[in-house]
Structure 1
Amino acid sequence: IIARAVEVAGQARRVELVLALARLWVEVEPDSKRAQQVLVGVQIMTNQLDGLAPQLIGMLEQDRAALPANLVALNRMFARSPDRQAVLALVSQVCAPFFGLAEAHYAVAVAASSAGQEARALAEARQALELRPDWEAAALLEAQILAAKSSAAAISALQGFIARHPKSPDVQLQLARLLVGEKRYSEAKRHFEQLLVSYPNNPDVVFPVALLALQENDVALAEKQLKHLLTLELPNKSAPYYYLGQIAEDGKRPDEALAWYGQVGPGEQYLPAQLRSAAIVARSGKLEEARAMLRQAAESRPELRVQLALAEAALLRDAKQTEAAQAVLERELQRQPQQPELLYESALLAEKLGNMDVVESRLRKLIELQPNSAQAYNALGYSYADRNIRLEEARQLIEKALQLAPNDGFILDSMGWVLYRQGDLEGALDYLQRALAQRQDPEIAAHLGE
């Protein structure tokens, strides 16, 4: 009867009533595992952690065979508890009777890391490794804690573990991933290739091998592994489809590239696949078909309208159809008049068309919306400097842009150009030389030459 009452109260979300009933249930049936689980669960859910340790210790001791696994899973019970310090204190108290087990130290290490006590976490993870020297989970936890401050330290720890325990695939996989993150590609590739021998059908191994092969321009290996990846069980195959499209496009096989890109579904690769497909079609002389592709994509994925409109305008701009490109952006601005990218790109196109009032109004609107946009200040300042008007204001705008992005080559170029217009040749030379050192751009070089 009490169990049914607990169920009904839970469905009604009467948490305090569930707690009272659970306590009554434990009083009536003190040996009931189910009653104890419900009581503990409600106390954790309501963040009533004080005094919970004896109950948890008792529950753990009831199943000694499952004790190591239950200790490892202990922290999952507190995943939603907001007071991480209280969770650490409780987990430490619960695990103390079991400190002869590596899993107890592992549980404390997880709780300490979640509470931001990295030194304690690291010490407990290492104690777990002392008790179970070949335990991959503890080695991975140690590396995770170290990586928060130093990827190099994490890599070193994993390398040491692999040296002592060569047959540790999970550790070797994480080591390879960290090496990729540090751009140590040749070392990472060696580990992935070793893993590939033992696990040729593991997507977590096959995909990185393919990407590293692309990184090193080993196109044949990349293509082979990506096609193999398509034969494996994957929840989403968009990534291999996309990279196979890239390989075909770079190999001057446009029809094959379009076929691969066409199979890319929703997700991270969808937008770049659409943009690349449209660019391929436009390069073949079918500009209107390319535009239609982008518009169709915008209809099916309205959240990508802005990026797709910008891409359509870029195709038209490259085809020297500047007015048509501007019309595309104006159409989209009617829907989203304060969209920053549309304001910026439409201002640049308006400058090409000589519509300087539009340039100024759009860039000032952008500065109003995004007062920390270095590009907006720079574009407006440069538009004045290039026309040799309002030079003092131009310089102030560009100085503001430099404050926001002091190492941007184009902004350094703008400052050099406005100083040149003001007659400060020495200052102009300094900025233009710095700009060219940052970015080898023909326009910057032309300014420096002048």
Structure 2
Amino acid sequence: MGPRSATLVKGRETRVVMVDGETPQSQFGRIDADGTVYVRTAAGERTVGSWQAGSAEEGLAHFSRRYDDLVTEVVLIENRLASGSTDASHVAGSVKRLTDSLPTAAAVGDLDKLAARLEVLSGKVAEGAEKAKAERAAQREAAVVAKTALVAEAELIAAESTQWKTAGDRLRAILDEWKAIRGADRKSDGDLWKRYAAARDAFGRRRGSHFASLDAARRESQTAKEKLVAEAEELATSSEWGPAATRLKQLMGDWKGTGRAPREAEDTLWTRFRAAQDAFFARRNEVFSERDAEQRNNQKAKEELLAEAENLPIDTDVRTAQAKMRDIQSRWESVGRVPRDSMGDLESRLRAVEEDIRDAADSEWRRGSADANPLLTQMRNQVAEAEQRLERARAAGDKRRVKDAEQALDSKRRFLQLAEQPQ
């Protein structure tokens, strides 16, 4: 009956422990009488150490445990690669160290099998390294492409954008995006960074130049508006209502056509400018209110004179009517101006009464001694002709002719009145 045995499994390595008689370590090693320990491989035996501390079985078990430690390392590497929890390049050193250590390893066990497993691992590491290399290359290329796009955008902003705040915010965002992109090669990254930095600096200079020009323009606007305010404040005390009001309106147009001053100065100058305008128009409105009241009183006075004139005894006593009309005309002229919208109507009504009196006087005269005084007849005819010319001028709407005709008629009427006075 042969010796009994039991099978133990540790990781992927199966080890047989003999229960009776010879141990399995003797398959891969031995200890000679002087304690030298040998391991058997396909290349032959080699010395792995010396054992003096106990029996040969205990010595082989000790060196077998060292072999188990090597197997454990290999199993851990295999598991890490299989789970994908590590990059092949991270275990490449361990695989090479273990492979290089096997020819001199002080261990007893199936070193040939372990070497084969390490060879498989070396192939996987090499394959993984190539894959990682390709991935890194792709990552570098993608990083360069992404950063190139960011640089191109920055250069476009630097060359063209005038949306200063938005563009400045975008350049800062580009920098944050740049920092988040990993994997570009050093040379490409350096060259692209120089382009980005140059674009950012160019934008900063252009923006600075713009705001410097804007500040200069605002200072010029401030000077111009200070002059407008000074003139408006001078006009605020003027009593030449029409010219001053016209000029203030022109100043407002000039103000709107002038660019903005610096904000604080703009607000202060505008407050002064509006205060000057308000002061002038408040004074003018007060004066105009008084004048309007006076003109309304004048209108009432002329309306009373008209009522008096329109009630003259023209049909019954033209001589008396003429005399009273002259008095009414004198008082009419002494009354001041009336509101413009009523002026035309009042003057028209007065002229109508004058014409009625004149017509009545002419009719009476013609009924009397028209032939007794040829000179008076001639003068009355001239007055009538002058009146006709005036009416034709008014009908034609010719202001110059109207003015000339009124002057001629007035002159002829005065001569006629003098001629008609009793001697």
TM (normalized to structure 2)? 0.19
Q: Would you tell me which structure has more strand in proportion to its own residues?
A: 2
